[in-house]
Amino acid sequence: NAGVTQTPKFQVLKTGQSMTLQCAQDMNHEYMSWYRQDPGMGLRLIHYSVGAGITDQGEVPNGYNVSRSTTEDFPLRLLSAAPSQTSVYFCASSYSIVGSSYNEQFFGPGTRLTVL
Amino acid sequence: GDSVTQMEGPVTLSEEAFLTINCTYTATGYPSLFWYVQYPGEGLQLLLKATKADDKGSNKGFEATYRKETTSFHLEKGSVQVSDSAVYFCALMSNAGNMLTFGGGTRLMVKP
């Protein structure tokens, strides 16, 4: 299994440009999520999905859109990039994360995004 | 809302030294607690976890005990190695929720 894969690894955008960060997992996980990592702030949840066709907002959703048309893929879209979105983005997945039943979240290697 | 506070780094130790990284949390109910590790250039990996009070999570020589009375989950290792150099994140998940809340991370540097 490849686990959780993310593309691209690095990206530089100009303010106002749009792009999609790709995330895929081959473990048949129901739950997928996107985090951003900023210095001294840990990881903050952007959006998550509990299954195909179902998405919801996390802690910092503004400026980002997601969709979940298949179990495997969970792309993150920046419609109009801003310098405040310069960050490292991580995708994660797990089998189930409802209530007290916890399964380990597996993280991708990350995408380092710079917005000029 | 839920929050996690961990000691700021970097923490610099010599090889074979004792390690403690403090973590305290604020949450309603009975959250599950986790330590994640991030090696340079990589994503996060689950290091250990504890799902109820007084549970001790352990892995690769690291340990942490879920202390509800002090709302703490401090990470310890008796003898660190250079290969332990990484960023360590404390995190929680509330029973009612479906998302992880992370602390700010603590960078550990171990010198030979």
Q: What is the pLDDT of residue A41?
A: 78
Q: What is the pLDDT of residues A2-57, one digit of tens each?
A: 899 999 999 999 999 999 999 999 999 988 999 999 987 789 999 999 899 999 99
B92, two tokens:
């929680």
Query: Does B105 lie at the interface with A, CB-CB under 8 angstroms?
Result: yes
Rounded to an integer, what distance in angstroms lies between the CA atom of residue A104 and that of residue A25? 14
- A90 and B99: CB-CB below 8 Å? no
Rounded to an integer, what distance in angstroms lies between the CA atom of residue A56 and that of residue A79? 18
Residue B85 has pLDDT above 70, yes or no: yes
- A43 and B93: CB-CB below 8 Å? no
Q: What is the pLDDT of residues B8-44, one digit of tens each?
A: 889 999 999 999 999 999 998 888 899 999 998 888 9
Q: What is the pLDDT of residues A64-100, one digit of tens each?
A: 999 999 999 999 999 999 999 999 999 999 876 555 4
Q: Which residue has the higher pLDDT, A56 or B1?
A: A56
Residue B97 has pLDDT above 90, yes or no: no
CB atoms within 10 A of CB A29: 21
Mean pLDDT of B64-78: 96
Per-residue confidence band for B98, with pLDDT thresholds at 50, 70 and 90: low
Q: What is the pLDDT of residue A98?
A: 56
Q: What is the pLDDT of residue A97?
A: 56
- Report the gap between the CA of A82 and the closest CA in chain B (Å): 23
- A102 and B32: CB-CB below 8 Å? yes
Element (H, E) at B73: none
- A105 and B100: CB-CB below 8 Å? yes
Per-residue confidence band for B108, with pLDDT thresholds at 50, 70 and 90: very high
Burial class (CB in 10 A: 0-12, 13-18, 19+), B91: buried
Report which of A20, A17, A33 is spatially closest to residue A94, judged by C-alpha positions: A33
Q: What is the pLDDT of residue A100?
A: 46
